[in-house]
Amino acid sequence: MSTLLEAIDVRKSYGDFVAIDGISLAVGEGELVSIVGPNGAGKTTLVNLLTGLLPPTSGHVRFKGQDIAGIGPVMLAKHGMARAFQLVHIFPEMTVAETIAVAVVSQTGKSMRFFTPVRKDPAVNQRVREVAQIFGLERKLDTQSRLLSQGEKKLLDIASAFALAPEVILLDEPTSGVSSGDKHGLMRNVVDAARKAGVKAIILVEHDMDLVAEYSTRIVAIQAGKVLADRKPDDFFNDPEIVAAIVGKRVGRLAAGAA
C-alpha cells in the first residue's frame, strides 16, 4: 500500500500552548481513516495542518512525497487533495450547476469572472453533469442552492470538493446538521461516489461513532494533541479504555457486539 499523505513528528504551538504535540500518521491508498477525539483534543488543528491551511511549528506534512506545509487549499487542490468543510460553503443564490462549475473551472484555469461563457462550455457542462449524477443531484442542476434540503446542501458541498478531481479528500463532519435517519445514506453516497470518482483515500473527521465504526478502515484517536490510538475499528471499539477516553462510553454496533 503506497503512502499518499503523511505527518512526521508534527507539532503546532501558539505561544506557550501546544495544540499538536509530536503527531505522526500516514494515510495510504484504499483507506478511509477517521480522526476522532474529544472537544479540544486538537482535531481541527491537525486537520488544518494536514490540508495545508497551517504550517507546523516543527515536523513535516507530505502529500505524495511533497512538502505541503501551509500551501493553502487552492494549491493543495492542484496537487490532488480537497477538503469539504463542516459548515456548508455554498452560495445560496447560485444554482447547483453553477456551484459545481466553480470547482470544475478552478481546475481548468479558466476565468470565473463571467458565468455566461461557462454555461456554454461543453467540457465544463459535461463534468458538472457527471459530478451531479454521482451524487444524485442531476435533477437539481437548475435549482438555487438555498432551496435544497440540508442533506442536499451537504451533498452539494462534498460534490464541489469531488469536482476538483482529488486523489485524497478530507471530510470535516460531513453529517453535521443532517437528521440521524439520513446520516448513513449520506455516507453511503459519499463512499460510493469516491469509488466512482477514483478517489484513492478518504480522511474523515466525524463525531458520530456509529458512522466511524461502519465506514472506517482505520481510526486515529487523538487526545491533548497526541495520538492516543491508531487502530482498525474492531480493535478500537473492543478497548473500553480507549473508547471511554474519546467518547465517555461504549458505543455503536461493534461495541455492543463486544459487550
Residue 192: count of CB within 10 angstroms of its CB: 12
pLDDT > 90? residue 122 = no
For the chain, counts of helices (H) and of strands (E): 11, 10
Domains within the chain, CATH numbers bracketed = 3-258 (3.40.50.300)
Span 213-246, pLDDT tens digits: 999 999 999 999 999 999 999 999 999 999 998 8
Picking from 5, 92, 41, the residue whose alpha carbon sits closest to that of residue 205 is 41
Q: Express as a percent the part of the chain with pLDDT over 70.
A: 88
In angstroms, rounded to a whole number, what is the distance separating the alpha carbons of residues 148 and 154? 9
202, 171 contact by CB (below 8 A):
yes
What pLDDT does 105 receive?
Answer: 82
- Please give the average per-residue pLDDT across 21-29, as a whole number: 96
CA distances from 120 to 15, 124, 135, 179, 191 (A): 52, 8, 23, 37, 31
**Which residue reads 500551501 in cell numbers?**
71
Global pTM reads 0.84
The DSSP secondary-structure symbol of 155 reads H
Span 54-82, pLDDT tens digits: 999 999 999 999 999 889 877 888 889 98
CA distances from 122 to 97, 117, 118, 125, 161 (A): 13, 10, 8, 5, 21
